[in-house]
Structures are given as C-alpha cells and as structure tokens.
Amino acid sequence: MGKMVIGLSSGSVDKLFGAGVIMSGAAAADMDIDVYVLLTAARAFLKGNEELADSFVEYPHLKDEMLAKFKELKMNSWIDSFRQVKEMANVKIYICSLAGKMWDGDSLDKYIDIVDGFTGIYQYVEAANEADLHMNL
C-alpha cells in the first residue's frame, strides 16, 4: 500500500471529474489518498456548490458536449465519485486555510460532508514530499 497526494487547485468540472477518476484508480491500487483543496477548488466544496457547472478549464468551448457525454455515459457526478472513493479507501480531504478565507468558508460547517479539515500549505508540501505519488490538478 502506498500514498497518493493530490493538490487540487482548480474547481472546474473537468478537473473535479478527473480527480475522481484518479482517486478511483488509487483506491483500486489500495493506496491511501490525501487531497489538498487549494485556491478556486475550495469554492466547489462549499455547501450548495456541488452541482455547479460554471467552470471548465480545459476546452471551455466543449463544455456542453462534455456535460452531455457525462450524462450519456451515466457517469457519477464528481461529488458522488469522491464519496464512493471515501467509502472504498482511506481518503482525507483538506481545505487550505487560505483558500477557505478566500471563499468565506472559515469553518467546516460551510463545507460539504466529505471535507475532513483545514490545513496550511506547509502540510501539503510536506505530504507531497513524502508521498509515493503526487499529482497536481
């Protein structure tokens, strides 16, 4: 068993879906997973924002086509994917305290139920340095 650390700095739907897929693969490989939610990604984890589809970083002109394809393929929403992986593996999701302040999310009760806590950037850097696999999305 190894450890994967994900630095999730984008809250765009395509990046969130990608993170869910990567986490599923890591869970299947019996890895522990720590997700550090940074910058605009923290906005997606605020209660009420789980279904937002207002941001696509990669190929924004394909947004409608991609959303239609997700639906056609009966893909889970990113939040459902994250929840499933948390049920299958040891997954911890941390909000960067600076990102929390950016979005007025300074307490856990403002975030969806899968968030485990707050952390500083130092903890993320240390975890990434010690991880078997580090990804930044």
Model confidence pLDDT, tens digit, residues 117-126: 999 999 999 9
pLDDT of residue 69: 81
Confirm if 99 and 41 have CB atoms less than 8 A apart.
yes
In the chain, % helix, strand, coil (3-state, to 5) comes to 45, 20, 35
Q: What is the mean pLDDT of residues 51-78?
A: 77
Integer Cα distance of 19 and 22 in angstroms: 5
Range of the domain at 27: 3-136
Q: What is the mean pLDDT of residues 33-50?
A: 92
The chain-wide mean pLDDT, for the chain, equals 90
pTM for the predicted model, two decimal places: 0.90
What whole-number percentage of the chain has pLDDT above 90? 65
Q: What is the mean pLDDT of residues 94-113?
A: 91
pLDDT of residue 74: 86
- Which residues lie below 8 Å from residue 18, measured CB to CB, with a gap of 6+? 137
Number of domains into which the chain is organized: 1
Q: 54 falls in which pLDDT band (50, 70, 90)?
A: low
Confirm if 135 and 10 have CB atoms less than 8 A apart.
no
Integer Cα distance of 4 and 134 in angstroms: 6
Here the CATH number for the domain that contains residue 79 is 3.40.1260.10
